[in-house]
Structure 1
Amino acid sequence: MNKLAIIILHKNLNNLLFKCLKSIQDKTKFINYHIYIADTGSDQDKLTELQHFLKENFKKQKNATLISFNYYDFGKNVNEIIKNYLQDEKIIVFCNNDIEFITNCLDEMIETYKKHPNTGTVGAKLYYGDGSIQHKGIFIEKRNNELAITHNNLRERDNFKVEDDLFVKGNTAALMLMDTQTFKEINWFPSNYIDSLHDVEMALRCYLLNKKTILCGKALAFHYESQTRKSNGRLLTQDYQTLKKFVFDNETQLKEIL
């Protein structure tokens, strides 16, 4: 399998990031990966602590790179990393710094990707810290002149059940895999969103290219979302209006999925 790039944006919350990185190391059997950590303005003491952690924990594999940005813009940061820093990686995994693997997510997501031809994105089943479901695919539906957007099975409990692959309308980029070719075909990461919903537009772009959006039911992880989102999980009006414009501009082609 081709080398895999894991992209993580980060600022200050080292306790969460270190837990995320350790879970990647501990749970992953697919060893041919490289982690790109984009620090978007950590305080100096936090940055020094992060540099020390990477030196101590990744010195043997040499498979982690720290990249400094003087601004935070999820789409632009990700696009710049892929354009300027990726080497020969053919698969990309977007991963939040507040993710902690429960199962061997990368191995399972890779297997799902390999099983399904013409895959757009592969997502994982995510849980809040209390064990309730945070993400099992994104639900989006056009209702008159508005959009209904949520996560499937939100806040339900399933005791961390391992499931078969599910075809869904969208996956959250909190933990999402796609190949670099598809990423470029959908015209990179949308950079006109402030905090959320760019991943929903990505899923719809994949649909327009007849690409499948799949949730890997064997990839389970915690997502401590409320600790890192600047909007505390609430949709920003501007982001909603941006997605709404995309949907209505492509209403005819998206009719079946919405």
Structure 2
Amino acid sequence: MKSLIRKVKKVLNAINLQNMKSVLRYIKNNGFKGLGTTIINKIRFGKVVLDEYATWIANNEPNTSELENEKKYESCQNLKFDIICPNDEKLIKSIENQTYKKYNVYKFEKERILNSKSDYLIFLGNNIELAQFALYEIVKSIEYRDSILIYSDNDKLIDEKRTEPHFKPGFARDTILSQNYIGQFIAVKTDFIKIHQDILNNLNKNIIYDILLQISEKTRKIEHIQKILYHETIENRKIDVEDEKQIIAKHLKRMNLEYDNIKDGRFEGQYKINYKIKGNPLVSLVVPNMDHIQDLSKLLKSLEKSTYSNYEVIIVENNSKNKETFEYYEKISKQDNRIKVCKFDINYFNYSAIVNYGVECSNGEYIVMLNNDIEFITEDWIEQLLMYAQRPDVGICGAKLYFPDRSIQHAGVTLGTRGLAGHRCREVQEKDFKKDDYINIVQDLSAVTAACFMVRKQLYIDMLGFDEKLAVAFNDVDFCMKIRTAKYLIVYNPFVEAYHYESKSRGEDTENTEKQKRFAKEYELFVKRWSKVIAKGDPYYNKNYRLDTDLPKINYNKISY
């Protein structure tokens, strides 16, 4: 009984003047019953008092007074909009309720669009409502920067309750071809459409997806407003998969990207493009190794299942002590002439120096960085990496890696996590994957792990390889950052799956004083080199997510936009 009283007091103390605004907004969205249930859950199970999203809304969206001030705002550019949308009663009402009033509304008519006197055209889809401040936010964005296309985040509004916020990444070419995450609301510069009138010809049913892909072929000026500017008003939107595949196919043809097929992804509305492999290039797998022949044997055994045969394995031997290791090297070299052992003579561990030497020993046109504690699940993994690495706009292609229990070890890297960088969705179980986690789609990211990634050898050389001052930590992220700075894409391909037993060969970075000192030195160098880039935020990770965790959890505090 005393324990229960203490918990009740703790909950009551949490509801003070400081967060009363959040409480009132929560009651508005969820009712007194919802608040009561939440308080009971806190008392019984120790869970949060307030719904995180309701708290985010209270902290980051304009209140009544702020909305009134928006109505008085005069655009310095006197911006005008034409809104092209279906004749939906709730949508029209949400447009009429906008705080910014300089707009016209009509259905899609090509001639009217081409004769428009507006500054921007806003295309809206079915079954949505606009946030009251949507046009105001578009105006502020345009006044801040000259964008050709603008899109925003959204949530769902079901039975007057707001749920399921979709905090989206910045524009990413491979991501948008894997899933139409941009959705049902875009603003496009009118003059751009007038110059490129062909964009409006022979549009598919999903005109927004069709238009935005065509615009993305002609400009990089695509702006993402990281605020909820519209609400989906339908629980489960029916996606015309064949229509979206046709739109993707037209885009690939215009971009002269040859492909074999467009397959369905894990969830409805997700797609996998299988690009054509050009030729039969030699691929060099660079594998550092020090003893641990059991791990190495498991890796080599999994390679036997590979459907691509034109590869070589460069085992970079460094500081092995066991006689059995060298006997094993001799045995596997005789069994498969594609396996080559190169001895690297240093008396300390420097991963960057080791892999750089491995690349020097290689003969392939493409390099795969590969840890010795990897075990492949996917049989066509080389083809899956190669089809992206062969594209001239791609610098690196990485893989999805699992812990032995099939939870995520690596699904790409987010910049800024815990101040530096972290693996996305680390330790999420396979059964818990959700569509908006993006774990299961090919996407462009800021970095991927060198435990398994492919890069063109010439590009690796041009970038001067891995920085040997970063002996162990941050070297792969540093290399990816150099690649991105050179304007190449980093692609994460979840259709390459493997187990990663992670750092068994050398131990953890903090297990002794010497390693701690080395880690601190490398940390300082990495921060000095990339702190300004990290401070700007990861372009592929929404700022409404927290950075103190590897999971996409809502940052319900006040966000600085």
Q: Quick check: TM above 0.5? A: yes
Which residue does the alignment assign to 1:90?
365
Which residue does the alignment assign to 1:38?
316
Are 2:484 and 1:207 aligned? yes
Letter of the 2:371 counterpart: N
Are 2:296 and 1:17 aligned? yes
Which residue does the alignment assign to 1:119?
394
Inter-partner Cα distance in structure 2 for 1:156 and 1:252: 28
Q: How does 1:27-176 map to 2 (within 5 A)?
A: 28-55=306-333, 57-58=335-336, 62-71=337-346, 72-83=349-360, 85-87=361-363, 89-104=364-379, 105-114=381-390, 116-141=391-416, 147-159=419-431, 163-176=440-453
Inter-partner Cα distance in structure 1 for 2:343 and 2:286: 13
Letter of the 2:281 counterpart: N
Sequence identity of aligned pairs in percent? 22
Are 2:508 and 1:231 aligned? yes
Are 2:503 and 1:222 aligned? no
TM-aligned CA deviation for residue 159 of structure 1: 4.8
Inter-partner Cα distance in structure 2 for 1:7 and 1:179: 13
TM-aligned CA deviation for residue 231 of structure 1: 2.2
Instruction: List per-residue Cα deviations over 1:97-135 (Å, max 9, x = no partner).
Output: 000001122221112324x44111110000111211000
Letter of the 1:151 counterpart: H
Aligned length: 246
Which residue does the alignment assign to 1:180?
457
Letter of the 1:31 counterpart: S
Inter-partner Cα distance in structure 1 for 2:327 and 2:333: 10
TM-aligned CA deviation for residue 49 of structure 1: 3.1
Letter of the 2:372 counterpart: N
Letter of the 1:168 counterpart: L
Instruction: List per-residue Cα deviations over 1:138-191 (Å, max 9, x = no partner).
Output: 11128xxx8332100110012598933121110100001000122122221111
Inter-partner Cα distance in structure 2 for 1:108 and 1:183: 19
User: Helix, strand or coil for the counterpart of 2:372?
Assistant: coil
Q: Which runs of 5+ in 2 are unaligned?
A: 1-279, 434-438, 540-561
**TM-score where L is the length of structure 1:** 0.86
Is this contact kept in 1: 2:389–2:456, CA < 8 A?
A: no
Inter-partner Cα distance in structure 2 for 1:96 and 1:151: 16
TM-aligned CA deviation for residue 198 of structure 1: 0.4
Aligned-residue Cα RMSD (Å) equals 2.5
Are 2:279 and 1:4 aligned? no
Seen in structure 2, the aligned counterparts of structure 1 residues 66 and 149 have a Cα distance that, compared at 3 Å, is same
Is this contact kept in 2: 1:131–1:159, CA < 8 A?
A: no
Seen in structure 2, the aligned counterparts of structure 1 residues 7 and 159 have a Cα distance that, compared at 3 Å, is farther
Letter of the 1:35 counterpart: V
User: Helix, strand or coil for the counterpart of 1:129?
Assistant: coil
Deviates more, 1:8-17 or 1:102-111: 102-111
User: Helix, strand or coil for the counterpart of 2:420?
Assistant: strand
Letter of the 2:461 counterpart: K
Higher RCO structure (Cα 8 Å, ≥6 apart): 1
Is this contact kept in 2: 1:100–1:223, CA < 8 A?
A: yes
Is this contact kept in 1: 2:414–2:422, CA < 8 A?
A: yes
Are 2:478 and 1:198 aligned? no
Between structures 1 and 2, the one with greater helix share: 2
Seen in structure 2, the aligned counterparts of structure 1 residues 254 and 213 have a Cα distance that, compared at 3 Å, is farther
User: Helix, strand or coil for the counterpart of 2:359?
Assistant: helix
Instruction: List per-residue Cα deviations over 1:65-102 (Å, max 9, x = no partner).
Output: 0111232321112222323x222x11000000000001
